[in-house]
Structure 1
Amino acid sequence: MSRDRYVDFLRAWAIVLVVLGHWLITGLVREPDGAITAPELLAVVPWTQWLTLGFQIMPLFFLAGGRSAGDSWSRARAAGGTAAGWTGRRALRLLLPTAVYSGLVLVAVGICAAAGVDSGTLALVGWAMGMQFWFLPVYLVLGALTPALYAAHRRWGLRAPLAMAAAATVADVLVVAAHAPYLGLLDYVLVWGVAYQLGFCWRDGLLTRHRATPFALAAGGTVAFAALVGPGPFPVSLILVTGQTPSNTDPPSVAMLAWAVAQVGLCVLVAPVVRRWLERDRVWRLVRPLGGASMTLYLWHMVPVLVVAAAFYLTGLAPEPAFGSAPWWALRVPWLLVLGLVLTGVVRLLRPVDRGLAALFERTRPDAAPRHGWLLWLGPAAAVPALARFAVEGFAPDGRLPVLPAVGLALGTALVVLPRVVTRRGTPEPKDALEQAA
Structure 2
Amino acid sequence: MEMDAHPPASHVTAVHRDPAIDLVRFTCLLLVVAAHCMMVSPVLHKDGTVTTLNVLMEQRWFTPVLWGLMIVPLFFVLGGMTGLQSWRRLRARGGSGFDFAQLRLLRLVRPAMVVLALMWAGLWVALLLGVHPQVIQLMTAGAAMPLWFLAAYLTAQLSIPLLAWLHERAPFPTLAALVTLIIAIDSLRGALPVLAFANMIFVWCAVQQLGFLMADGFFEKRSRGWLLGAIISSNLLLGLVTGVAVYPGNMVVNLNPPNFCLLLLGISQAATLQLLQKGIRWIADIPWVQAVIALAGRRSMTIYLWHLPLLVGLSGLFLLTDVPKPLAGTAEWWWARIPVFVAVVALLIPVVLMFGRLENRPTAASHARGPSRTAVVTAAVVVLIPVADAAFNGLTLALLGGGAACFALSVLLLGRVPTPVLTPVSTPAPMLQLRQGAELPEGRLRTLPEPDLRANLET
Q: What does residue 381 of structure 1 align with?
A: 381
Counterpart amino acid of residue 372 in structure 1: S
Residue 280 of structure 2: aligned partner: 274
Deviates more, 1:365-374 or 1:382-391: 365-374
Alignment correspondent of 1:72: 86
Q: Could you say which structure has the higher helix fraction? A: 1
Give TM-score scaled by structure 2 length. Answer: 0.82
CA contact (8 A) 1:91 1:143 kept: no
Task: Give the counterpart of 1:229 among 212, 237, 242.
Answer: 242
2:408: which partner in 1?
410
CA deviation string 1:335-373 (max 9, x = no partner)? 233332343234314523333x357x4246999984612
Task: Please point out which of 313, 338, 351 is paired with 1:336.
Answer: 338
Alpha-carbon separation, structure 1, partners of 2:365 and 2:273: 33
Measured after TM superposition, the shift of residue 393 of structure 1 is 5.3
Gaps of 5+ in 2: 1-12, 423-443, 451-457
1:106–1:401: 8 Å Cα contact kept in structure 2?
A: no
Counterpart Cα distance in 2 of 1:10 and 1:365: 35
- Structure 1 pair 365/141, CA: closer, same or farther in 2 (3 Å)? farther
For the residues of structure 1 that align with 2:344 and 2:403, how far apart are their CA atoms? 29
Tell me which residue corresponds to 1:396: 396
Counterpart for residue 426 of structure 2:
none
1:142 corresponds to which of 138, 156, 176: 156
> Is 1:306 paired with 2:312?
yes
Q: Does 1:315 align with 2:317?
A: no
Note if contact 1:123-1:394 (Cα within 8 Å) is conserved in structure 2: no
In structure 2, relative to structure 1, the CA distance for the partners of 1:133 and 1:367 (3 Å cut) is farther
Alignment of 1:84-99 (within 5 A): 84-99=98-113
**Alignment of 1:352 onto 2:364:** no
Q: Which moved more, 1:157-166 or 1:307-316?
A: 307-316
Structural mapping, 1:229-268, within 5 Å: 229-240=242-253, 248-268=254-274
* Residue 96 (structure 2) pairs with residue 82 (structure 1): yes
Cα pair 1:225 1:258 within 8 Å, conserved: yes
Equivalent pair of 1:27/1:38 in contact (CA under 8 Å): yes
CA drift at 1:169: 1.2
Match of 2:62 among 23, 28, 48: 48
Q: Which amino acid in 1 is paired with 2:21?
A: V
Aligned partner of residue 301 in structure 1, secondary structure: helix
Equivalent pairs, count: 415
**CA 1:213–1:378: 2 relative to 1, 3 Å:** farther
Task: Report the Cα offset of residue 166 of structure 1.
Answer: 2.1
Whole-Å Cα distance in 1 between the matches of residues 283 and 82 of structure 2? Answer: 21
RMSD over aligned Cα, in angstroms? 2.8
For normalisation by structure 1, the TM-score amounts to: 0.85
Q: For 1:374, give the aligned amino acid.
A: T
Deviations 1:189-218 (A, max 9, x none): 111112211111111112222325433431
Q: Which moved more, 1:211-220 or 1:387-396?
A: 387-396
Query: Measured at CA, do residues 331 and 132 of structure 1 come closer, stay the same or move farther in structure 2, by a change above 3 Å?
Result: same
Q: Partner amino acid for 1:198?
A: L
1:29 counterpart SS class: strand
Q: Relative to structure 1, is the Cα distance of residues 340 and 389 closer, same or farther in structure 2, using a 3 angstrom cutoff? A: farther
AA aligned opposite 1:336: I
Relative to 1, partners in 2 of residues 1:315 and 1:367: Cα closer, same or farther, differing over 3 Å? Answer: farther
2-structure distance, mates of 1:13, 1:346: 15
Alignment match, 1:165: 179
Please say which of residues 107-116 and 39-48 is displaced more in the overlay. Answer: 39-48
Q: Is the 8 A contact 1:81 1:368 kept in 2?
A: no
In structure 1, how many angstroms separate the alpha carbons of the residues matched to 2:362 and 2:28?
A: 27
CA deviation after TM superposition for structure 1 residue 406, in Å:
4.0
Query: Which residues in structure 2 correspond to 1:26-65 (within 5 Å)?
Result: 26-33=40-47, 35-41=49-55, 44-65=58-79
Q: Sort the Cα spacing of 1:405 and 1:235 in 2 relative to 1 into closer, same or farther, 3 A.
A: same
1:324 alignment partner AA = G
User: What residue identity is the alignment partner of 2:349?
Assistant: V
Q: What is residue 14 of structure 1 aligned with on the other side? A: 28
- Pick aligned residue for 1:129 from 143, 164, 180: 143
Q: 1:112 aligns with which of 122, 126, 133?
A: 126
